Amino acid sequence: MTGSQETGNNQLKVSGDLTIKDITHPISFDAKVEIFTDHLYSLGEIVIDRTIYNIRYGSGKFIDNLSDKLIYDNFDLQFKLVAQKV
């Protein structure tokens, strides 16, 4: 995580760097933040294109005629962060 910016309505625009297989690319995503009593909850989702991290197995971008063996290049990474005040 390299930074965040409040966008209103308990939303943050979070930016950072994602490294997979020693390849790093900048990312950004929206995250919802809620505070209940002494707990902070944050929910977010990132859509990642695996091919930019040199994961090409079954990719239609690099291999022709895969038909039903095609694997989607994008995948969703959903997360929930819970923090407690100490």
- What pLDDT, in 10s, does the model give residues 45-68? 999 999 999 998 888 777 777 777
Structural domains counted in the chain: 1
Q: Do the strands 11-20 and 23-36 form a parallel or antiparallel pair, or are they unpaired?
A: antiparallel
Q: Specify the pTM.
A: 0.75
**b/e for 26-52, b at 16 or more Cβ within 10 A?**
ebeeebebeeeeeeeebebebebebee
Question: CATH number of the domain that 62 lies in?
Answer: 2.40.128.110
- Starting at the edge strand found earlier in the chain, the sheet holding 74-84 runs 3-8, 11-20, 23-36, 39-49, 74-84
- Per-chain mean pLDDT for the chain: 90
Rounded distance between C-alpha atoms, residue 13 and residue 21, angstroms: 25
Tell me the residue range of the domain where 42 lies: 3-84
The per-residue pLDDT for 75 is 93
